[in-house]
Amino acid sequence: MKKIQLEKAGVQCQLQFFKKTDEVIKPSLFFFLKKGDLILWDYENHSQYKLDEPYIDRLIEIASGKPIVEDDITRHLREEGLLVKEKEETREWGWDELSWIFHQGTKNPPRLESDANNWFEAYLQNCQSKPSPKEAPSSSKGEAISLAPIDKKLFQSKSLYEVCQERMTSRTFSGEKINFEVFSSLIGATFGYSSAPWGKNGNYEIYAKHKVSPSAGGLHPFEFYIMVHHVENIDPGIYKYDPQAHCLYPFEKGDFREQLIHSLAGQNFVKDLSFGVFFVADFSRVWWKYEHSRAYRQVLLDAGHQSQTCLLLATSLGLLTWPTGAIQDKEVEKLLKIENDKFSPIFFVGIGTGKPNSFNEEIISILKSNR
- Domain harbouring 199, CATH code: 3.40.109.10
Residue 130 lies in a domain: no
Q: Where is pLDDT greater, at 20 or 150?
A: 150
- Containing structural domain, residue 173: 141-368
Task: Report pLDDT digits (tens) over 303-331.
Answer: 999 999 999 999 999 999 999 999 999 99
Least confident of 10-24, 38-52, 127-141: 10-24
Residue 209 lies in a domain: yes
Q: Indicate if 236 and 283 belong to the same structural domain.
A: yes
Closest to 289 in 3D by CA, of 211, 221, 210: 221
Q: What is the pairing mode between strands 222-228 and 275-282?
A: antiparallel
Residue 301 lies in a domain: yes
Give the pLDDT of residue 196.
Answer: 67
Query: Nearest 5°: CA angle at 200, between 194 and 202?
Result: 165
Q: Indicate if 95 and 166 belong to the same structural domain.
A: no
**pTM to 2 decimals?**
0.86
Task: Report pLDDT digits (tens) over 3-24.
Answer: 555 333 333 334 445 555 688 9
**Mean pLDDT rounded to a whole number for the chain:** 88
Residue 135 lies in a domain: no
Cβ neighbors of 271 (< 8 A, separation 6 or more) are: 175, 229, 257, 258, 260, 261
Is 135 a residue whose pLDDT tops 70? no
Q: Indicate if 240 and 343 belong to the same structural domain.
A: yes
Give the pLDDT of residue 197.
Answer: 63
Is 335 a residue whose pLDDT tops 70? yes
Q: Indicate if 101 and 150 belong to the same structural domain.
A: no
Give the pLDDT of residue 86.
Answer: 86
Residue 136 lies in a domain: no
Give the pLDDT of residue 111.
Answer: 72
Query: What distance in Å separates the CA atoms of residue 91 and residue 118, rounded to the nearest whole number?
Result: 39
Task: Report pLDDT digits (tens) over 345-363.
Answer: 999 999 999 988 888 778 7
Give the pLDDT of residue 278.
Answer: 99
Per-residue pLDDT averaged across 339-350, rounded? Answer: 96
Q: Indicate if 187 and 84 belong to the same structural domain.
A: no
Strands (E), the chain: 2-4, 17-19, 23-25, 29-34, 37-42, 47-51, 68-70, 83-85, 145-146, 199-201, 204-206, 222-228, 237-242, 247-253, 275-282, 320-324, 343-352
Query: What distance in Å separates the CA atoms of residue 24 and residue 64, rounded to the nearest whole number?
Result: 10
Q: Indicate if 205 and 286 belong to the same structural domain.
A: yes
Least confident of 214-218, 227-231, 256-260: 214-218
Q: Indicate if 325 and 231 belong to the same structural domain.
A: yes
Number of domains in the chain: 2
Give the pLDDT of residue 91.
Answer: 85
Query: What distance in Å separates the CA atoms of residue 35 and residue 236, rounded to the nearest whole number?
Result: 46
Q: Indicate if 89 and 150 belong to the same structural domain.
A: no
Give percent of the chain above pLDDT 70. 87
Give the pLDDT of residue 4.
Answer: 56
Q: Indicate if 100 and 165 belong to the same structural domain.
A: no
Per-residue pLDDT averaged across 31-59, rounded? Answer: 94
Q: Indicate if 93 and 147 belong to the same structural domain.
A: no
Is 1 a residue whose pLDDT tops 60? no
Closest to 186 in 3D by CA, of 358, 353, 16: 353
Q: Indicate if 358 and 244 belong to the same structural domain.
A: yes
Q: Indicate if 82 and 226 belong to the same structural domain.
A: no
Query: At residue 29, what are phi and psi to the nearest 5 degrees?
Result: -130, 150
